[in-house]
Structure 1
C-alpha cells in the first residue's frame, strides 16, 4: 500500500479531496468492520479469537486486514508475548479510544432512529415495487 507522505499542505487535511491523507485515513476507519472492532475493544484488551467471536460475521482474513490497518494508523496497539503457544493482544490506543467516543455516538444514533429508518425503508421499498411493475 502506497501512502501519501505527511506534509504540511492544507489539502492533506481535506477529506473532500480524493488525494488527501485525511481522506485515506477517513476511508480506513469509516467502514463497518473497523467501527465494530473499535466498539468491541472499548476499554478491554482482547485476543484475536475473542475479537473474532465478538464481531459477528467477520471472517478471519477480514479481521486480520482490519486490525493491521487500525494498527498502522495508530488506533490499535498489538502486543505479542513470547510464550508457547504464542499470545497476541489488541487494545485501543489513545487515538482509538477518542475515536470510540464517536463510534458510540453513531451506535446510539442507530438505536435511537432504528424504528424511523425501518419505517422509511418500508415506504421506499413499497414505492419502488409499485413503480417497477
Structure 2
C-alpha cells in the first residue's frame, strides 16, 4: 500500500497447523501464527524498509523479530546496500518426535548483517552483486 508519495506500507499474517505421526509414535499436532508490518520509502537515490514480525508458537511461545534494509544509488546502475535481520525457527514435529528426532530441541534464533554493492538491475541481463555477510 502506498499511502502518500514515496512511502510504502506492507502488512499481513499467516497461520500454520502441523501434524505428525508414525508407527512408533503417537500423533502430535501444533500450530504457529504470525503477523508483520513493514514501512518503506523510495525517494530519489534512497530506498529503505524497516519492519517487525511477531510469531506465536503453540509449544514455544511468542517472539518478535526485526528487519531493515537500505540502499543508496552511488552512480548509474551502482547501489550501496545494507541490511539487518532477525530470524526465528521452531523445530518441526518430525525433528522433535520421529525415530530420528530429539525432543529437547529449542527454537533457533539468529541475527545477520550484510553490506554490499549491486551493479545493474535484477530484472535485466548484466546484474552483479558483492556482499559481506556477518552472522
Same fold by TM-score greater than 0.5: no
TM-score, normalised to structure 2, is 0.22
Structure with the bigger RCO (C-alpha within 8 Å, sep 6+) is 1
Greater fraction of residues in helix: 1
Q: Rg larger in 1 or in 2?
A: 2
Greater fraction of residues in strand: 2
TM-score, normalised to structure 1, is 0.22
